[in-house]
Amino acid sequence: MEPKEPKAPVPVPCHALRVVRVLLRIGQGEAGLRLGRLSLFREVETGRAKVIGRRRYQELAGSLNPPPGVIEIVYGLTEAVSGFEQADPWISPPMALVIEGALVDVLGELRYDLVAEARAARFAAEREEAEHLWQILAACDPERRPLVAARPMFWTWGLAERLCQESLAAAPHDPAACRALAELALEVASNVTGPERFLDFLAAFCWAHLGNAQRVQGDLEAADAAFAEVERLLPAVEEGEVIPLDLTRIPNLKASLRRNQRRFAEALACLESIDVSGDLVLSARVAVQTAGIYQQAGNFEAAIATLREALPLVDAGTDDRLRCVTRFNLAANLIYLDRVAEMEALMPEVRALAFAQNHDVDMLRLEWLEAILAAAHGRRTEAIEALADILDRFHRRKMSFDAALAALELSALLLEAGRPAEAARRLAGVLPTFHAHKARREELASLWLFLQAIERQVATAALARAAAVAWRSFGVEAV
């Protein structure tokens, strides 16, 4: 058998055209269709067509709409590699291989950048479509669920993500809507098709938001079950893997649940697991959440120090709500330490920011803060009336845990005002709520001791405050 003649090298313009097409992940047929000739690119790239020059290469490559600079970069690198392949006599073969390998690495980096750019453009387009779908659904309340179930056009990961964002936005002022939106996001996610691994990420993301919504409503048992489902579903992110979802939200939301469950070490561990490097907004949010955990644990000094450290981060960003939350919670911690003058200096800014946000539940908490301030100035009757009204409004919103905390604060004021029977009634009415939130034994004991002391008419204001301090978690959510 006669040896085959070696293949003639493919001309540089033809080879470069193929490189551009492959970098952009466009098939030969698809590329040809753009110019009305299906086999054009196949013939040119293999050199079977009439040899093209650099100008024709530029025209054909330009029809693929590559990013700026790609056409000339690829041509130059391809030309260089082709030159090395011809084994110029002044370059040793090993050196030629080294240089060629380096150039191929450059092309690989270029491809990585192009793929990243194309991926980002695709994610942006899918989010733009999700925004359009959300606008349709926003106008259809309360008929959203039947519409989503009947129309596959709504079954996109982008819409599931968008509904989760709306759920978080609703949490401060409408806990029921917060939950309904998270449930709808999970329903959308259950219908999305795609790689199984990504679908697990999406489901875990939506379950985390449902767990957060259940927490906001005070249903901590359901929220705990939701986060158990998150842990079951959530894969570990592999090196180089790109997921369009903000996965930092999952430990972020879990930390809020663990805080409300008074599992403070676990809550802090959740926040410490978040990589905040280079992200100003995330750094600020994590700092404010950390302060919230210190506050609920009764370490008001640490909460104040953390909030003061967070202020420059918060003010450097554009999140108006986070600015409000930081100052609001700083004021609350200051009043808990009877640093009334420092707290009052903050109040004009707190009020202005809260009114600008105008979230119903946040405004209710602002009234609570004003009531505590009134009590600090000796206006006890005014504070009692305000807290009684606030407690009733939390009950009407089915926010049982917030109502229980308000009742505890109210019962302490009632005792100080010489109204022990009413204080006992208020406290007895919320003990089941603290039980339902799986309070630690010593914390429940402080409440029982307080209640028994009232009933024996030996309760003191100091005992009332000791019970209240164990539970003081009043503040505004950073999430």
Rounded CA Rg of the chain: 31
Residue 256 pLDDT: 93
User: Could you tell me which residue, 472 or 273, shows the higher pLDDT?
Assistant: 273
Q: Which residues contact 99 (CB under 8 A, 6 or more apart)?
A: 80, 84, 91
Residue 459 pLDDT: 53
Kindly state the DSSP code that residue 236 receives in the 8-state scheme: P
Determine the average pLDDT of the residues in 20-36: 83
State the first-to-last Cα distance of the chain, in angstroms, to the nearest integer: 76
Residue 478 pLDDT: 47
Structure token pair of residue 213:
């919504």
3-class state of residue 266 by DSSP: helix
Residues in the chain: 479
Distance separating alpha carbons of residues 182 and 253, to the nearest angstrom: 13
User: Could you tell me which residue, 177 or 319, shows the higher pLDDT?
Assistant: 177
For the cut 60, the answer to whether the pLDDT of residue 348 exceeds it is: yes
* Amino acid, single-letter form, for residue 218: G
Which pLDDT tens digit goes with each residue over 83-138? 655 544 444 555 545 555 665 666 666 666 666 777 788 888 899 999 999 999 99
Are the C-beta atoms of residues 398 and 218 closer than 8 Å to each other? yes
Structure token pair of residue 259:
């805080």
Which pLDDT tens digit goes with each residue over 230-241? 999 999 988 878
Distance separating alpha carbons of residues 225 and 99, to the nearest angstrom: 57
pTM, entire model: 0.70
